[in-house]
Each structure stands twice: as C-alpha cells, then as structure tokens.
Structure 1
Amino acid sequence: MKKMILLTIICVLMLGSGCANKAQSGAGLGALAGATIGALTFKNKASGAAIGAGVGLLMGYIVGNEWDKYDEQKVAQSLESTKSGETVAWKNPDTGKSYTAVPSPAYMNQNKICRDVTITADGGEKIMAKACRGDDGVWRLNQ
C-alpha cells in the first residue's frame, strides 16, 4: 500500500513538472530525489521517504527559484534597454539553456509603462508575455 502511494506521488510530480516554472520543477525533482535517498537510507522506509522528500523539495525549490530570478533579470534588462524588435540573447550559467527576448513597443496600461515580449528557449518553445514596470521601477512579467 505504501509503495502504491509513493508511486502515485512520483507520477503526479513527473506529470506536473511539464507545466511548471523552474522553481516548481526543481522542487518536484528535489522531492523525488530526496524521497528516493531517504527511503534507501532510513530503517523505516516510509519515514525516510517523507523526510527526504521534504528536504529535497525545499532544496530543489531554492535552486530552481534562483534560475528563475536570473532569467527574469535578463528579460527585465532587455525590456529596459532594448529597442522594439531587437533580439537580446543570453545563456543561463546554471542551467546551460539559451534564451532570446524580443520586446515590442511600450504602451500605457493602468498608468504603468508596459511592453509585450516574445521569449524563446533552446528547444524553440516560445512564450508571449506582457510586462509592466512597477512603481518601484522593476519590470514584472504577466504571462
């Protein structure tokens, strides 16, 4: 019974990671790895898996969140200083993935300066996003 519950959790984590951001994917993979290590090292397999999953979830989320911050910083820089239609490219040093961003002309939306941006990842995955500059001057993406 316990093995069936663990298998179900693993399947849900793997299926859910396809539509998750990097922090969520990192948390899912961390939980999976932690549960596996915990189950193999603790005498009580179920407790070990639960403890390992919790620690792995936290560590994976922290690492994944840092990757998100790096990429979001690069997009924000392109929104701030790139002419409309020009392409900005970068490579994330932690993930090794390459990205491009192509911002559109600025416009006003609810008294905020906004720009649309097309972000393309290594595998050709395209994300069309809207970003607005907050009162603090920081660009925030709204997919």
Structure 2
Amino acid sequence: MKKILISFVVASLTMTIAACQSKSTLGGAVGGIAGGVAGSNIGGGSGRTAAIIAGSLLGAALGSHIGGEMDELDRRRANDTLETYPTGRTSSWNNPDTGARYNVTPTRTYQANQQPCREYEMDVYMDGQRDVVTGTACRNNQGEWINQ
C-alpha cells in the first residue's frame, strides 16, 4: 500500500509539472516532489506515509513561493551560473523588482545520458526568510538547464 501511495504522489506531481503554465505552479510541483522524496527518506514505519504527505505539502508551498518570485532575470542568472561557474563557486545577486536575494552554488558536475548535469544549492532570501533549495539540472540540446 505504501509503495502505491508513494508512486501515486510522485506520478501526480510529475503530471502537474508537465501541465504547468506558471512559474509558481512549476515551483510548487518541483517542491512537492522534493518534499515527498525527503519525507519518504525521513519517515519510517506507519509514520512514513504521513512524512511523505507532509513533505509533499511543505515542499509544494515553499516551491510555489520561490517559483512565484523568480522572474526571467533570475532564471537566466541561475542558468548562467550552472553553465559557467565552477563547482563550489557561488553566484549571488539581488532582484530589485522582487526584493529577493539569491546565492546559487553548483555542488557537483557529472555526465548523464551524454548530457552535462549539475547538482546545486540555492539560498533564497525573501520577505526576511531564508530558504534553501537543492536540486539537479541537466543541460538540454538547446543549452537550457532543466531541473530533473
């Protein structure tokens, strides 16, 4: 039953990503998936299902908030960081329109399916709050870094 629930949550969120039209919805979907995975690794026994659900909801809320705040300039800066910064070096910027501050650090670089991929950590400071987002992005044939 647990495996079915986990599969359902991940599949539902994956379909949500495919249908996303807005940056906050996309951020929420990505955050929900990350939260669900984190919850599945944290929870154990009968609490695992609750941890998956709680992680998915918390991740979706955080991802939606961050995704809603990132504008095209922020996405380009993050893309440039993944493209040009060496592993371990941080790119930082402030968005004067949203008031958000970003620190993006590539943490690991590797090849997957003949495409370069990078793990990264992004510190986001918004509304007096610090949020840390970790993820993996791979460069597609058009040179865009796509979150995995």
TM-score by length of 1: 0.51
Residue 92 (1) aligns with residue 95 (2): yes
Matches of 2:27 and 2:88 in 1, distance apart? 31
Contact 2:91–2:103 (CA<8 Å) still a contact in 1? yes
Alpha carbons of 1:24 and 1:136: their partners in 2 closer, same or farther (altered >3 Å)?
Answer: closer
Q: Residue 21 of structure 1: SS of its match in structure 2?
A: helix
Matches of 1:79 and 1:24 in 2, distance apart? 18
Match of 1:124 among 119, 130, 134: 130
Amino acid at match of 2:102: Y
Residue 82 (1) aligns with residue 96 (2): no
Deviations, residues 76-130 of structure 1 (Å, cap 9, x unaligned): 1111111111111011122011010010232111221100010001122100011
Matches of 1:23 and 1:106 in 2, distance apart? 24
Within 5 Å, which residues of 2 pair with 1:64-75?
A: 67-75=70-78
Alpha carbons of 1:133 and 1:24: their partners in 2 closer, same or farther (altered >3 Å)?
Answer: closer
Amino acid at match of 1:85: G
Unaligned runs of 5+ in 2: 1-22, 29-66
Percent identity, please: 28
Q: Residue 86 of structure 2: SS of its match in structure 1?
A: coil
Unaligned runs of 5+ in 1: 1-19, 26-63
Matches of 1:82 and 1:24 in 2, distance apart? 23
Contact 2:69–2:100 (CA<8 Å) still a contact in 1? no
TM-score by length of 2: 0.50
Number of residue-to-residue matches in the alignment: 85
Query: Once structures 1 and 2 are overlaid, which stretch shifts more, 107-116 or 67-76?
Result: 67-76
Contact 1:79–1:115 (CA<8 Å) still a contact in 2? yes
What corresponds to 2:58 in structure 1?
none
What corresponds to 1:109 in structure 2?
112
What corresponds to 1:141 in structure 2?
147
Matches of 1:90 and 1:132 in 2, distance apart? 22
Contact 1:22–1:67 (CA<8 Å) still a contact in 2? no
